[in-house]
Structure 1
Amino acid sequence: MIRMHYSFDFAQQMHFPSNPLQPGPMYFLTPRKCGLFGVSCEGLQKQVNFLIDEGMSSGKGSNEVISYMHHFTHFGVGETDVDLHCDNCTGQNKNNFMLWCGAWRVAHKLHSTLNIHFLVAGHTKFAPDCGFGLIKQAYKRTRVVENSSPESRLNIPQLVGLEDGTVFVNMFYWQAHLNPYFRKLPQIKSYQHFSFDAKRLGVVLARTHSDAEPVSFQLLCDPDVLPPVDCFPAQLAPGLATDRQTYLYSKIRPFCSDEAQDITCPAPQSTTQNGTQKRMMV
């Protein structure tokens, strides 16, 4: 039996190319964006950081959070019991989809127990912010996540995808996958701690605070029918809109180094009727 504790959060997005001196002509421009989602394991003093190019970003909703956390199992240690910490953002974390995912994981014996804890209202700083801070300090100088913690090796990078559309971390429509099998927990915002146990399929124990008496609620519509453990509906990378590609090519490309221009700000492409890409004249 292995028990692990993980904390996760989004960081404020970064931009590239980045210049600490910020050239005057670039001050009012918007370079290419890179999102950052971190999962911190305090027990191992490691943090996996998902680097999300704007062409790979579908948003910051529950589908994305669950997809990143699902992929994070590749970095796990085979833990049977899991504690998760996150903030109270309803669009990302404190929502029924996250609870349904927790119930789904323990129902399929991916974990024996799973607990989700939300930060006390008014407290927003926790473990992932340490890794984010190191990354942003180093990014001003080196632009490399691994070099942000050369001695401790705290930060581990995980590319979600490349600028050319290559995908490394798949996104799925978890809402569509789970919704037919579960029902909503009433007054979900009033609770701070949620617990799931593989011995009680579909049941969540919700507490308003750590010492409160738990409220038991059956999330499964039919405890004898579980959502499939695989075959998730895929959520394709959105890519960059043509006007955004044109903006990067015409406005940002001059500020990129020669070797990075065709990666960060390539010539715009459009999609033909047969789905292939063709380069546009600029």
Structure 2
Amino acid sequence: MSSHQPSPTLPASAESSALETRSTPPLRRSPVPFNRSSEEESEEPDSEEPDDSDDDGSAGEEDVTGESAECEADVEEEDISINLLDVDLQQCVTNLIRDDACERRCLQGKAGELEWLTCSLGQMSKVEKTTCILTLLGVLMQTDTAERRRGNGEREKFHYYLPFVGRVCRPSFARCLGVQPLTIQRYKKRVRDGNIAAQVHGNRLNKNASKIDLVWLVKWFKEFAAEVGEVVLVRVRMQKTKDGMVKKYYSREDYTLLPATFTWEALYDEMHKFVSLGLRVCEPARSTFRKLLSVHCPNIKIRSAQSNACDLCTIYQSRMRRGASAEQVEELGQHTESASRMRREYKKDKATVHASGGSSMNVFGIFYENEGAQTNYVYDEFVSGRGSDQINSRLQHFIRTVLLPAGKKHLIGYADNCSGQNKNNYVIKFFLAQVQMGVFERINYKFFVKGHTKNSCDRGFDHIRRHVGRYDCWKMDHIVSAVNEAATSSSAVHISRGNEFFKSYKPLVTELYKKLVGVQQYQIFSMEATKPGVVQCKKGPDDEPVEQDLRRKVDGVLTESTKVERMLTTL
């Protein structure tokens, strides 16, 4: 049981990256050699790094002779950092040093060397980079490889060196080269197999898709459209910047609209018939057929099946399906502006014809869980308000017309926390009177927690709201019909003006029963025929009940069942 907000009012009248140029420092040291001195090897203990980690020996440097130094000084420095596009060099090097989790901090203090390495890798293509890594691994695996046993297998263990940088750990080796450690493992397996060439893969067409003659397919489709289609001129807006000024240009494009009978299924059948005549062409699949032609023939569309649909609207909307820009939306808005003005004028004239003073509609729904049906009481604001008397009158009608004929004796009702309508003394006293009269043996009146009152009635209201929104409702009869047709489980009870449907229950229940104290702090109210006039109040399903006897005592006599029945039957 829930009340609904008033329904719509009846009308009264109706990244570019900047090219970074950083000068690199001169190369003052030669590449790190792979031979080691025996003293250095004995000084450094073995590491416990797993799987091909670098833990034995250290790298030494070759002495730079004066002759070689002069040669290096005479060679003109080449700025290679300008080839590192779209990457912040300093940030890249900083990230490599920061993310170095090695205990020896093998990248610490080698920022310049890392810059040289990063710039060099930035000049390589993907295949060149892969070949470089494979070659580097092939050399490293032949320098200081030690065979050790792990379990039942043999393990090759060697140290990792990077150009310019020197000896590093395996994770840093992978990160500096821009690959994953598992990729290094895969490359090592390829080197062991005797191949240091990059594996050719990727950028290959699907075998079936590569057999499709796309040129023929597009040519056939255009010829077919020129034969059966109709050319429609569409105004297209373009925007260009000239001398710092943004100028807009308008041009015309020819669109071809195919008849609505030529769906994509029908078009594929036409193409299949053409190929079946003996043409040696590989047919695409149905989904590929539509995908290819939609991309390569954007100016050929299928006309809407609706006879009153605008061709330009069909073209504009089909262009916007894969992502609409602001210009496309504006074009559609300009195209439909005049039609929108006439549509508003049409609705205005209809509102003038059906003008009847305008009123707000009230809908109160009661969902009967036993039958899965909802009864909606509909009336306008001039019939009555939305107080407790209106709630009790509708409850009385529902009890008399639905529950009593079904022979129900136990009623469980749920409602929202609206204190002005459902959760108040007058509705609780009304239910208490029904139990004391013998209409029901037990009534449990329960309330949802405020702010969490979603229930079955709201689902019915959603059906009504969507259904009414699709129709023009100008009269009360239109709304009643819309409520009835909103769902198969929905029925409407129209309360017209002048109908004595609503009764005044406040004075009667006030005379019969006292006020229930603290009604707003409880969520569950229970009334039993074995305890006449007593309401059991609970703050939650697991709380202990608090009993309150609401019967008034007049001349020492408490309110009796006969008095309750006599007073309520007079209404």
**TM-score (normalizing by structure 2):** 0.36
Q: Which 4+ runs in 1 deviate beyond 6 A?
A: none
Q: Which residue of 1 aligns with 2:390?
A: 64
1:178 corresponds to which of 495, 498, 509: 509
Q: Deviations over 1:81-109 (max 9, x none)?
A: 00010111111111111111111000001
Alignment match, 1:157: 492
Structure 2 unaligned blocks of 5 or more: 15-342, 352-356, 472-477
Please report how far the alpha carbon of residue 127 of structure 1 lies from its aligned counterpart in structure 2 after TM superposition: 1.1
Q: Which amino acid aligns with 1:184?
A: K
1:103 equivalenced with 2:432 (yes/no): yes
What is the CA deviation profile of residues 188-220 of structure 1, one whole-angstrom value per residue up to 9, with x for unaligned ones? 111000000011100010000011000011011
Tell me whether 1:229 sits opposite 2:565 in the alignment.
yes
Matches within 5 A, 1:19-38: 23=347, 31-38=358-365
Match runs of 1:99-248 below 5 Å: 99-142=428-471, 143=478, 144=481, 145-149=483-487, 153-162=488-497, 165=498, 167=499, 170-222=501-553, 223-226=558-561, 227-229=563-565
Matching of residue 54 in structure 1 with residue 381 in structure 2 = yes
Separation in 2 of the partners of 1:196 and 1:64?
Answer: 22
After superposing the two structures, state which structure 1 stretch, 107-116 or 129-138, moved more: 129-138
Q: Classify the secondary structure of the residue corresponding to 1:32.
A: coil
Whole-Å separation in 2 of the counterparts to 1:233 and 1:196? 20
Q: Note closer, same or farther for the CA distance 1:233–1:171 as it changes in structure 2 (3 Å cut).
A: farther
CA contact (8 A) 1:204 1:219 kept: yes
Rounded Cα–Cα distance in structure 2 between residues aligned with 1:170 and 1:159: 10
Structure-2 change in CA distance of 1:230 and 1:53 (3 Å): farther
Percent of matched pairs sharing the same residue: 25
Does the Cα contact within 8 Å between 1:172 and 1:232 map onto a contact in 2? no
Q: Which residue of 1 aligns with 2:372?
A: 45
Once superposed, what is the RMSD of the aligned Cα atoms? 2.6
Larger Rg: 2
User: Which residues of structure 1 form unaligned runs of 5+?
Assistant: 1-6, 236-282
Q: Is the 8 A contact 1:46 1:154 kept in 2?
A: yes
For 2:507, give the aligned amino acid: A
1:35-83 C-alpha deviation (Å, 9 max, x unpaired)? 10000112311000001122212x1111111111111121222310000
Q: Report if aligned partners of 1:11, 1:38 keep a CA contact under 8 Å in 2.
A: no
Cα offset, 1:154, TM superposition: 1.1
Q: What residue identity is the alignment partner of 2:372?
A: Q
Matches of 1:89 and 1:146, distance apart in 2: 26
How has the CA–CA distance of structure 1 residues 44 and 233 changed in structure 2, closer, same or farther, with 3 Å as cutoff?
A: closer
Paired residue type of 1:102 = F
Match in the other structure for 1:248 = none
For the Cα contact (< 8 Å) 1:38–1:48, is it kept in 2? yes
Call closer, same or farther: CA 1:67–1:196 in 2, change over 3 Å: same
Worse-superposed segment, 220-229 or 90-99: 220-229
Flag the 1:9–1:78 CA change in 2: closer, same or farther, 3 A: farther
Q: Distance in 2 between matches of 1:198 and 1:180?
A: 20
- Which has the larger share of strand? 1
Q: CA deviation at 1:122?
A: 1.8
Matched, 1:15 2:34: no
Residues 1:75 and 2:402 aligned together: yes
Give the TM-score normalised by structure 1.
0.70
Counterparts of residues 271-282 of structure 1 (less than 5 Å) = none
CA distance in 1 between partners of 2:559 and 2:514 (Å): 14
Q: Which has the higher helix share?
A: 2
